[in-house]
């Protein structure tokens, strides 16, 4: 599944082709993705100017004066910027045509979403899918002190707390494993037992890992590719994720894999205490 870096890479890729441009057409194939496409979406957007793009967690936001288009890539989705006239393929479900270019959404598993939040219903942050999201990890509001404060009653393992999304958003499975390794924290440690000093290391690690992943175009596992069709290469820098049995790049001990909440966790028993 595309995580925060992949969505941010996507946002940066589409932004120059969308921001300030006027929508000339909207094409919806089938009835929808994870949820039905909004009724009358073409009438809502045709002739309207895109003000800017944004991101909240793993949701891409396309802002208009009268509302916001919310796009989620699901498990296998990606966006491409194409010239007009390219024939859609089987899994091409949605086109937004603006500024003479086509933003096309491809989603083989159809777990993604294209939703509309009208401005008349308040800020987009109050949308049902966004209102419960935690802090943005790349913003200043995300701090060790805040993370420490919000975990004092959390007995769940820190890896599970990071994935839950209600304290910090967008730190998915790959980047949680890598951040915990960099911070030297065992993923099985109960969140409430981690000290402020160790959370300071974790916050720095999360920011560094996410920033590096964005810079390298994200992790191209399975279906994800960037807007220009190129693959990211952060997966070449993994220290623990998907390296079961391989030597730790720091201490040479074999990387271990366990299951936490139906998700695979990778860690080094020597480097992560």
CA 167 to chain CA centroid, Å, is 15
Q: What is the pLDDT of residue 177?
A: 97
| Measured distance CA(224)–CA(108) in Å, rounded | 11
Q: How far apart are the first and last CA of the chain?
A: 28
CA 249 from centroid of its chain's CA atoms: 27
The residue among 84, 82, 76, 69 whose CA lies nearest residue 106 is 76
Region for residue 40 given its phi and psi (left: phi exceeds 0; alpha: psi -120 to 50; beta: otherwise)? left
pLDDT attached to residue 225: 54
Q: Up-side HSE of residue 12: CA atoms within 13 Å toward CB?
A: 12
H/E element holding 43? helix 41-45
Phi then psi dihedrals of residue 18, to 5 deg:
-110, -45
Q: Write down all domains in the chain, each with its CATH number in brackets.
A: 4-126 (3.20.190.10), 144-267 (1.10.8.50)
At residue 75, the pLDDT reads 87
Residue 233 · residue 18 · CB < 8 Å: no
Known catalytic residues?
2-3, 58, 263
Contacts of 173 (CB under 8 A, 6+ apart): 3, 163, 241, 263, 264, 265
Per-residue tens of pLDDT for the chain, all 273 residues: 688 999 999 999 999 999 999 999 999 998 899 999 998 999 999 999 999 999 999 999 999 999 999 999 998 899 999 999 999 999 999 999 999 999 999 999 999 999 999 999 999 999 999 999 999 999 999 999 999 999 999 999 999 999 999 999 999 999 999 999 999 999 999 999 999 999 999 999 999 999 999 988 877 555 555 576 665 557 788 999 999 999 999 999 999 999 999 999 999 999 999
d(C-alpha 1, C-alpha 72), whole Å: 11
Output the CA angle 158-159-163, nearest 5 degrees.
115
| pTM exceeds cut of 0.75 | yes
The first and second tokens of residue 271, run together, are: 């480097």
């Amino acid at each position: 599944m595309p995580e925060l870096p992949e969505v941010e890479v996507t946002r940066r890729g589409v932004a120059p082709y969308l921001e300030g441009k006027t929508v000339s057409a909207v094409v919806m194939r089938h009835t929808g993705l994870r949820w039905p496409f909004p009724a009358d979406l073409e009438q809502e957007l045709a002739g309207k100017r895109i003000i800017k793009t944004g991101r909240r967690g793993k949701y891409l936001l396309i802002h208009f004066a009268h509302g916001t288009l919310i796009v989620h890539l699901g498990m296998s989705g990606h966006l491409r910027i194409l010239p007009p006239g390219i024939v859609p393929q089987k899994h091409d479900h949605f086109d937004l045509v603006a500024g003479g270019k086509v933003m096309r959404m491809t989603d083989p598993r159809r777990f993604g979403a294209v939703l509309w939040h009208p401005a008349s219903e308040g800020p987009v942050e109050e949308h049902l899918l966004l209102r419960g999201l935690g802090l943005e990890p790349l913003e200043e509001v995300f701090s060790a002190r805040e993370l420490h404060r919000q975990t004092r009653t959390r007995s769940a393992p820190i890896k599970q707390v990071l994935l839950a999304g209600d304290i910090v958003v967008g730190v998915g499975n790959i980047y949680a494993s890598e951040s915990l390794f960099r911070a030297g924290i065992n993923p099985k440690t109960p969140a409430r037992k981690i000290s402020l000093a160790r959370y300071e290391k974790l916050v720095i690690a999360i920011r560094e890992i996410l920033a590096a992943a964005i810079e390298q175009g994200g992790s191209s596992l399975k279906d994800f590719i960037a807007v220009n069709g190129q693959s990211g290469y952060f997966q070449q820098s993994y220290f623990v994720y998907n390296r079961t049995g391989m030597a730790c790049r720091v201490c040479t001990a074999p990387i271990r894999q366990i299951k936490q909440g139906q998700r695979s966790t990778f860690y080094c028993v020597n480097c992560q205490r």
